[in-house]
Amino acid sequence: MSTGALDSWVALLREQAPSGESAASLDEVRSEWLSPRGRIDALAVVERHLSWLQAKQVELLAAIGAHADAPPDKAGVDLDGLFLGEWDCAVEEVACALKLANSTAAQRLETARLLSRRQPVTLGLLRDGEISYQQARTVAEQCAVLPDDVAGRVEEALAEKMPQQAAGQTRAAVRREVLRADPAGAEARHQERVRERKLLSYPQDDGMALFGAVLPAQRAAVMEQVVEAYAVGYGDDGRTLDQKRADALYDLVVGQGQGQGGVGVGGAAAVVQVTVPLDVLMGLNDGPGELKGYGPIAASQVREVAFAAGSVWRRLLVQPENGLLVKVDPLTYRPTADTVRHVVARDQYCAFPSCRMPARRCDLDHVRPFDHDRPERGGPTTPSNLQPLCRRHHRLKTHHPGWRVVRNPRSGAAVWTAPTGHRYVNRPPVRCE
């Protein structure tokens, strides 16, 4: 096929709704056979088919979510209201199967439920490749707070415009329609979000992290101006304005929050935990260290923390072949404080494959159940038989008959078997070597 003929065919395909037949034909499209104009048309064709595939994924997720798990009928088991409300285990299976965080899997399931039940027109536009998944998700999430009939009216007002809009334009249009349809509810939701204000910290690449807060917009504007003014006060010292702003935020927070010796206001100490081999600590090796809550960091960052004023060092022994912490503890049900520190430092996060709940906020679960009558028969309270599990996954493992877990005491790998029979492996973070 000539370049002109292929260009014409791709341009025609761009105007058609995606299908299985048209998806199969995409294998014949070669970028080197297209003109610059034809490549843009081909890119749009591929994007339309991605929307078509995402609509199919939405339909699958909606079907998976609709298959609700029921709690087992186990006499004498105390399942509180919160657990009953969270028993649906579709989140765990989807998270493990797609290698997603639990929160991402839950968001996809909820978006699929909303689109399939409340926004059929939007789902149809996604299936036809007229809009992107980002647009469909925006409609589902923004309209979720509205009654069904009001959500339908908002969708009707948006349906004709969305195919001509970018994702950001759709988000603004949906917000506008929701505010117009439910002004009183919008104010109530804002007040609820004010009560949910919080700090956020996300790891980024190359030893960096994003730190900030979710708070009312007017307060954020005031904070921005204060940081700006402080940054300007540094003068012309070679730093860019962005660098000064970041440094100003740190100086304002740490300078106000610390007293002598790095102790916080009111006597609360700032605790930063880093695991590092001795040779790296002493500058004989430039291998990585492990910053709790972040992951691997460069040797220079390790030493900055380790040699800061007020730092406390604690020695931990590890197995040389795999880096797992080594220690022996008594056979009592409640782990000692030393054992708790050991397991938390070893695993760092919940031991469920898709969960990133910090271990310090988790329960310590006996992988093999503790025998209260005769502890010597099994289920010892030792690090090799303990794992951190967040409350949800602790209850899942204890009470749900379809989920099982075994842990390799040498490698630390936990193998979870789902109700569907699929297996998912969780390994503790690699320790510093």
pLDDT digit string, tens, across residues 272-293? 667 777 777 778 777 777 777 6
* Same domain, yes or no: 285 and 247: no
**Tally of CA atoms within 13 A in the half-sphere of 181 that contains its CB:** 23
* Same domain, yes or no: 55 and 124: yes
Let me know if residue 316 belongs to a domain. Answer: no
Counting every residue, how long is the chain?
433
**Which residues make beta-bridge pairs with 423?**
417
**Tally of CA atoms within 13 A in the half-sphere of 262 that contains its CB:** 11
**Neighbour count for residue 52 (Cβ, 10 Å):** 19
In Å, how far from its chain's centre is CA 375?
Answer: 38
| Alpha helices in 144-277, H assignment, sequence order | 148-159, 167-181, 183-195, 217-232, 241-257
* Same domain, yes or no: 287 and 417: no
Q: Residue 223 pLDDT more than 90?
A: no
* Same domain, yes or no: 262 and 279: no
* Same domain, yes or no: 23 and 115: yes
Terminal C-alpha separation, the chain: 57
Let me know if residue 241 belongs to a domain. Answer: yes
In Å, how far from its chain's centre is CA 184?
Answer: 32
DSSP single-letter state for residue 430: P
The total number of structural domains in the chain stands at: 4
* Same domain, yes or no: 127 and 83: yes
By mean pLDDT, which of 35-44, 145-154, 339-348 is the weakest?
A: 339-348
What's the mean pLDDT when you consider all of the chain?
A: 82
Let me know if residue 328 belongs to a domain. Answer: no
Residue 63: its pLDDT value, please?
93
* Burial letters 293-311, b for 16+ CB under 10 A, else e: ebebbebebbbeebeeeee
pLDDT tens figures, 297-356: 777 877 887 777 767 666 655 555 555 555 544 445 567 777 888 888 888 889 999 888
* Same domain, yes or no: 154 and 246: no
Q: Residue 86 pLDDT more than 60?
A: no
Q: Residue 433 pLDDT more than 60?
A: no
Let me know if residue 363 belongs to a domain. Answer: yes
| Domain extent for 125 | 3-195
Residue 239: its pLDDT value, please?
94
* Same domain, yes or no: 378 and 357: yes
* Same domain, yes or no: 102 and 180: yes
Q: Which residue has the higher pLDDT, 320 or 296?
A: 296
Let me know if residue 349 belongs to a domain. Answer: yes
User: Residue 111 — very low, low, confident or very high, per pLDDT cuts 50/70/90?
Assistant: very high
How confident is the model over 387-410, as a mean pLDDT? Answer: 88
Q: Which of 167, 195, 223 is the last residue of a domain?
A: 195
CA nearest 142: which of 193, 112, 179, 197? 179
Let me know if residue 312 belongs to a domain. Answer: no
111: region left, alpha or beta (phi > 0 left; psi from -120 to 50 alpha): alpha
How confident is the model over 51-79, as a mean pLDDT? Answer: 75
Residue 108: its pLDDT value, please?
95
- Quick check: 306 and 274 in contact, CB under 8 A? yes
* Same domain, yes or no: 231 and 158: no
DSSP single-letter state for residue 162: G
* Same domain, yes or no: 23 and 170: yes
- Quick check: 129 and 48 in contact, CB under 8 A? yes
Residue 113: its pLDDT value, please?
95
Let me know if residue 314 belongs to a domain. Answer: no
Cβ neighbours of residue 402 under 8 Å, at least 6 residues apart? Answer: 69, 89, 418, 419
Let me know if residue 321 belongs to a domain. Answer: no
* Same domain, yes or no: 39 and 188: yes
